[in-house]
Amino acid sequence: MLPQHLKQIRVLMLNEKENLERTLFRLEQGFELQFRLGPSLQGRKVMVHTNYPLEGQPFQRHNFHVLEWNYPSGKDDDSDKFCSLNLKIAGSYQYYFGYTERSGGGYIVVDPVLCVGADNHVLPLDCITIQTYLSKCLGHLDDWPDRLRVAKESGYNMIHFTPLQTLGESRSCYSLADQLAVNPDFIPEGQSYSWVDVGALVEKLRKEWNMLCITDVVYNHTAANSVWIREHPECGYNLVNSPHLRPAWVLDRALWHLTTRVAEGRYKAKGLPADITNDSHLNAIRTVLRQDLFPEIKLWEFYQVKVESAVEQFRILLQNGSKPDHSKTGGKPGLKIVQDPQFHRYGNTVDMDSALETFCGTHFSTCTPCCLYDQAANCIVGNVVYERLADHGPKLGPVNRKNPLVTRYFTFPYQDMTLEQELQLLDQPDKSCHFLAHNGWVMGDDPLRNFAEPGSNVYLRRELICWGDSVKLRYGNGPEDCPYLWAHMQKYTEITAKYFHGVRLDNCHSTPLHVAEFMLDVARAVCPNLYVVAELFTGSEELDNIFVTKLGIASLIREAMSAGDSHEEGRLVYRYGGEPVGAFVQPSLRPLMPSIAHAMFLDVTHDNECPIQLRSALDSLPSSAIVSMACCATGSTRGYDELVPHQISVVKEERFYPKWNPAAPATSASEVGFHTGIIAGKLALNKLHQELAAQGFIQVYVDQVDADIVAITRHCPSTHQSVVAVCRTAFKDPKTHQYDTNVPPMFIPGKIEEVILEARTVDRHAGTYKKDDGYINGMPEYTVEIKEHIPLQDSTVVKQAGVTSKGRSEFVQEITFQKLTPGSVIAFRVSLDPKAQKLVGVLRHYLSQFSPKYRRGSTADENPPELCVFHRLMSKLTLADLNVLLFRCDSEEQEDGGGCYNIPGWETLKYAGLQGLMSVLADIRPNNDLGHPVCANLRQGDWLIDFVSNRLVNREGPLAQVGQWLGAMFNYMKHIPRYLIPCYFDAILVSTYTTALDAAYKLMSRNVLSLCPVSCVELDASLPSLPSLDTFIALRGLMLLTGRHTEARNIILAFAGTLRHGLIPNLLGEGRCARYNCRDALWWWLQCIQDYATHIPQGHEILNCLVTRMYPTDDCEPRKPGEVEQPLYDVIQEALQRHLEGISFRERNAGPKIDMNMRDEGFSVAAKVDPATGFISGGNRFNCGTWMDKMGESEKARNKGMPATPRDGAAVEIVGLSKSAVRWVVELHAKGLFPYDGTKIHRDGKEVFVSYSQWNQQLQQSFEAAFWVSGDPKDPNEKHPDLVHKKGIYKDSYGASSPWCDYQLRPNFTIAMVVAPELFTVERAWKALDVAEKKLLGPLGMKTLDPDDMVYCGVYDNALDNDNYNLAKGFNYHQGPEWLWPVGYFLRAKLYFAKKLGQETYGQTVNLVKNVLSRHYTHLERSPWRGLPELTNENGQYCKFSCETQAWSLATVLEVLYDL
């Protein structure tokens, strides 16, 4: 088993309703596949099912089992749980998932592992070089080694045999008469060879020649003369089991009889002779069909009703008063004709319900069926045009019985008879069961539809391009439908899989999928690492994927012959394999990405037309070279390398392949050797192809030098060696086409080590080609002139090579050519210049301390820098240092005279620290988006590189040392070619970044959960600039729960020192311009003290800590540090006492200096305890003393100076926070930890003592009576029943100056539920939370106002200035936009009260919470800020006026995770 850091792990994220059955996921054996839950599934009891077999169990396609979830964090946490498969078996495997029902699914394909040689060494799929042989041309089995040796000596390592079974009458390689018997042509007279002998030869080739063998399996048809199909006609589509073909058979027989009559000249008088040569003859065919043939066979009768019978039946129904069955007709008129399933003439019937609905007893008219004659006539004439007139057709000549007018669609195993006699056989099942439909293919048809099944009119329309030698096989839905056929083909499959290493699925796109699935399962049971290849003609990659995924096809055959020019041929190389040169290093654990099917790229297939006829003989070598440079399996067909100048027909060819003889003369037809055709060149190219794949040259670059020259680079990302092949194609014959003699020079970066090969196709004057009668011979006039592994100066193709240098890393060789003639190839081995090679090795050496994947190609540094052990260096950093290293936004950097880096022509990075780049690179890396502006910037210069290191070097201490380390690594990197800079820059940053994250985690508590804890590092930067309220809301989540207790304590005490008027300031203003204009900050501060004392062991000791008071009295000037000190408990006591006494003052410097928008009345601050209820009450309609603090700014809309949400009176969250604080001090006093049990105040001119216990009880008794909105008009507690528009909620405030504001539904009551749950009755709380969930909960945040409210607006636009009072200048900031931080309190409240309602409710709530949090997790992963925003617009839409990452948004989410 591989070490975890080397094991390749792919992660597939599951999302609800995501069906990926048409998406290809390819994996290798030894990989681990992890399934994880996407946001839409988190919080649900999802089960993942798969048919990948359990350890030691056989694969059964329809046997699924449930995968167990793994919990890395040790608890039921959906954010990181996964289930996995350790992939050890090749094949296609299905998975699906769901919670109540199936929700999605797909397939994975695991590649086979192929082994060759006596030592069973692995042959990677990309190393494959395959050659196809027509088996019937190999002769006797004893002669095969001599003929197959041609493949071995030409450098191939795999042979593809066309079927080796007994052939049918046509002698087509793919028309098999007996699928179970070896072709008797292979067995010499007097010998008795069997499959065992074939298997022995295959094994000999594997062990001794290091060659694998595959062969075709043909499931779709059998030869028309197969003995077994006559004995078992149910295995084909006949007129008994497929009566829908009866009309097509009648037409087919009529066309056959037309053939005989045309051949006899009986239609000459009508302009239709036997020899069809022009358009007038074609028109005559149409006339004969329309006037003679179609009327004679009356096909329409198969689709018509017997009118008399139908009318009589209808008349009787009317007489009986019958009514239509509306459940069948839907009450809609429209006559329906029911097709006779047996297709008898006049066998159709009328649906009488539709007749009654339509005609209602008035009249009846017949319905004329749709006529298919025109379509059939068009196809018949089109077929004649191709076979007899077209230049690219076979030119069959005069019509006769051997070459009929059109190919017959059905077998007719009886003696000749008249058409009338034949038609009588239709109703004789013992005869008509032997009329079997031929197979073929349909242009542009749906490959997933079986064109022979009912519902298809392919045979009747004559749309089938028919193979008249083969019968289409009818499998039905499973073995029970045709037992003999399934058993027969299963045995055929088992024989093939037993003796061969792989199969080619012939006619794959027309083979029923369920049949191919079954047979391949059988084959893999015999040969687990079966190599499955296929050629698909679906015309769609998506449709291709259906076959590839369901069948586990390892390689799809792709044809270089599909390219019309060299540019397209080069594009195919790039398309079918490899990654771009300079691609990023991918982590071992990464998302599972869709892929295209692995290609088997062939310069020619045995079905292609001859390339020499379509292009030129000279193009064979360069096109082969282009194919050989592809990073996938490659291959050819026997005859191509020998320059056979015609197509070797799979049907008509009966000659033998020549044998191998290294000394074969040029004129020999029976033997071939190294000098035959391009064999010597192909050997060199095949060796090069295998070497490139085996040594990891996985990166590809294709350069179209000019119209005929293609340069292909294969690059090894470990050693940075390259091979550059320059191929000059010759699509046109140089003898008839004038090629440009000026070949452009090439610039090759790096040092050319050698010329691997240079080869040209040359004329050797050995006579001209003459087709041999006994052997498949090639053109003797051409051979290959080749040199291998020579110094550059010995090249005859290269004229000169000059060395140029463009800077320290641009070592370039300029190549000019003298003999790169059409048909030439030259391949260079290139390495980096020596200095760059050494420095990249040193850089890889240092990177290998982070990942062993860099060890290959690494070299130790002779003079290592002092700071070489990076982990030790990183351990010295504090969280504050890490914040500088990782984060800091533009404004923070500007304070130090810097800023974030701007990518010219693109945008500015979000952070100056590493996260700014890592967020961008995270999107670039998986897709190898080397064209991204960041990559372009890195290639063009060192500006960004220097920025990263210099901003740290200029600091002090360990950060400067980190900068120096980065600078040292970057200095190595700067000496390598610029095209490699993005890759290594990313590698250095990833190494630094991941190490920094590890260091950050170690400085935090175990409570730092999986929800992007890195953002917790940011709090140091964000706190000083945050308002006090935001700081206090964020403190528990980002400080206490993450273990940063000292920082939390310092913040609490620092703010304690700013107390004045019994309040904590909203904005510090460096302590000298502080504004004491918020009523809630004090209570949030007290909640923080309580959380600190509760959460931290001995946390109550903070109460005795001395606080340096800045303002010991309301009106004094700021005091110096240490001048006035008092314990924290005294500061708390003062705050409580001042609220009980009552707070009322006017802000200092009131006016536009401190607030240019506020009206004069707004500068008056008031807060007090209502003696009647105990509620903290205050504010007025001109100020906003809570977190909902938007002040109107628009003069145009006349909202300037008016708060959007004054929330004066008693705000619900302040009531909850005050209850929490009072309850806590009561508990502290009881434990002797707080010296005060109450305070003296002046009330009505008297000094009275108010006990905290009494205040606590008063709040408890008053809350629900004042805040619960029952909706009952008779509720005695309800003062304004007319203002209620949502019942079953808690008011947002109590006693507002505008009473209707009290009744607005907002999320603030959930805060009170969390901090003071004792105020709420469980049932009422649950109802209110349910309303909030339905009305306020958004994808990420909570709507700040009920969407049913008349002033609701969910889109915040702070730049808008119009005359709309409710919107102008962002007036609706808290009137609908969805804020994130309240969602934490909502979810925590749900969890608390769900527990009170029982385990079932709690379980459902946990699921909801996880589902909501998953959306935050997704946003964190996708946001370039790696944070959660302040707010979103309605329904989670992006808001450009929102802060992109806010401390309290993340903090409250972390609190929810802690509660979970």
Please say if the pLDDT value at position 1068 is more than 50. yes
From residue 719, alpha-carbon distances to 235, 625, 697, 808, 859 in Å are 58, 23, 9, 20, 11
From residue 662, alpha-carbon distances to 132, 674, 785, 1360 in Å are 21, 6, 16, 85
Give the range among 232-236, 333-337, 1266-1270, 1363-1367 with minimum mean pLDDT: 333-337
Helix (H) or strand (E) holding 1127: strand 1125-1127
> pLDDT tens digits, residue range 737-747?
889 888 899 98
Residue 742, pLDDT score: 87
Average pLDDT on 458-483 reads 95
Q: Are 707 and 714 in contact (CB under 8 A)?
A: no
**H helices, E strands: number in the chain:** 41, 53
From residue 426, alpha-carbon distances to 241, 835, 1206 in Å are 13, 86, 91
Annotated active-site residue in 178, 252, 506, 986: 506
| 252: Cβ contacts below 8 Å, ≥ 6 apart | 408, 409, 410, 459
Residue 369, pLDDT score: 42
> pLDDT tens digits, residue range 1333-1392?
999 999 999 999 999 999 999 999 999 999 999 999 999 999 999 999 999 999 999 999
| Rounded distance between C-alpha atoms, residue 1158 and residue 1146, angstroms | 13
Residue 868, pLDDT score: 60
Q: What's the burial of 1032, exposed, middle or buried (CB within 10 Å: 0-12/13-18/19+)?
A: buried
Q: How confident is the model at residue 365 (pLDDT cuts 50, 70, 90)?
A: very low
Helix (H) or strand (E) holding 113: none
Give the range among 334-338, 676-680, 991-995, 1396-1400 with minimum mean pLDDT: 334-338
From residue 825, alpha-carbon distances to 394, 561, 784 in Å are 36, 19, 10
Residue 870, pLDDT score: 83
From residue 912, alpha-carbon distances to 908, 1006, 1112, 1424 in Å are 9, 28, 41, 12
Residue 809, pLDDT score: 60
Output phi, psi for 934, to 5 deg. Answer: -65, -45
Output phi, psi for 461, to 5 deg. Answer: -75, -5
Average pLDDT on 1247-1266 reads 97
Q: What's the burial of 1321, exposed, middle or buried (CB within 10 Å: 0-12/13-18/19+)?
A: exposed
Please say if the pLDDT value at position 1013 is more than 60. no
> Is 244 an active-site residue?
no
- What amino acid occupies position 430? D
From residue 1061, alpha-carbon distances to 1058, 1065, 1114, 1246 in Å are 10, 10, 6, 21
Please say if the pLDDT value at position 1125 is more than 90. yes
Average pLDDT on 1243-1260 reads 95
Q: How confident is the model at residue 1012 (pLDDT cuts 50, 70, 90)?
A: very low
From residue 634, alpha-carbon distances to 442, 628, 914 in Å are 29, 6, 43
Q: What is the DSSP letter of 290?
A: I
> pLDDT tens digits, residue range 502-525?
999 998 888 999 999 999 999 999
CA 171 to chain CA centroid, nearest Å: 46
Residue 335, pLDDT score: 82
Residue 756, pLDDT score: 97
Q: How confident is the model at residue 805 (pLDDT cuts 50, 70, 90)?
A: low
- Enumerate the β-bridge partners of residue 589: 9
- Enumerate the β-bridge partners of residue 1379: 1342, 1431
| Backbone conformation region of residue 397, classed left if phi is above 0, alpha if psi is from -120 to 50, else beta | left
Annotated active-site residue in 281, 509, 606, 1374: 509
Q: How confident is the model at residue 374 (pLDDT cuts 50, 70, 90)?
A: confident
Residue 1023, pLDDT score: 34
pTM beyond 0.95: the answer is no
Average pLDDT on 284-312 reads 91
Q: Are 485 and 23 in contact (CB under 8 A)?
A: no
Please say if the pLDDT value at position 1018 is more than 50. no
Tell me the three state secondary structure of residue 330.
Answer: coil
> pLDDT tens digits, residue range 818-875?
989 999 999 999 999 888 899 999 999 999 989 888 998 888 877 776 656 788 888 8
Q: Are 960 and 867 in contact (CB under 8 A)?
A: no
Residue 448, pLDDT score: 85
Return the biggest CA–CA distance within the chain.
134
Q: What percent of the chain clears pLDDT 90, i.e. is strictly above it?
A: 81
> pLDDT tens digits, residue range 559-573?
999 998 999 999 999
Residue ranges of alpha helices (H) inside 1025-1103 are 1028-1035, 1045-1056, 1081-1095
Unique residue bearing structure tokens 């990942």:
851
Task: Give, in degrees to the nearest 5, the angle at Cα 849 between 848 and 851.
Answer: 55
Tell me the three state secondary structure of residue 862.
Answer: coil
Q: Are 115 and 121 in contact (CB under 8 A)?
A: yes
Give the range among 478-487, 773-782, 868-877 with minimum mean pLDDT: 868-877
Q: How confident is the model at residue 316 (pLDDT cuts 50, 70, 90)?
A: confident
> pLDDT tens digits, residue range 121-158?
999 999 999 999 999 999 999 999 999 999 999 999 99
Please say if the pLDDT value at position 1007 is more than 70. no
> pLDDT tens digits, residue range 225-281?
999 999 999 999 999 999 999 999 999 999 999 999 999 999 999 999 999 999 999
Q: How confident is the model at residue 315 (pLDDT cuts 50, 70, 90)?
A: confident
Average pLDDT on 1032-1051 reads 94
| Rounded distance between C-alpha atoms, residue 227 and residue 235, angstroms | 12
Give the range among 26-30, 677-681, 859-863 with minimum mean pLDDT: 859-863
Q: How many CA atoms lie within 13 A of 1443 on its CB side?
A: 17
| Rounded distance between C-alpha atoms, residue 1355 and residue 1373, angstroms | 9
Output phi, psi for 1450, to 5 deg. Answer: -70, -35
> pLDDT tens digits, residue range 1224-1235?
999 999 999 999
> pLDDT tens digits, residue range 1428-1458?
999 999 999 999 999 999 999 999 999 999 9
Annotated active-site residue in 142, 445, 565, 607: 607
Q: Are 186 and 140 in contact (CB under 8 A)?
A: yes
> Is 292 an active-site residue?
no
> pLDDT tens digits, residue range 424-469?
999 999 999 999 999 998 988 888 889 999 999 999 999 999 999 9
What mean pLDDT is reported for the chain? 92
Tell me the three state secondary structure of residue 433.
Answer: coil
- Tokens found for residue 1192: 């109107």
> Is 607 an active-site residue?
yes
- Tokens found for residue 1244: 């009505």
Residue ranges of alpha helices (H) inside 1184-1343 are 1212-1230, 1252-1267, 1309-1315, 1322-1335
Residue 447, pLDDT score: 83
Residue 812, pLDDT score: 86
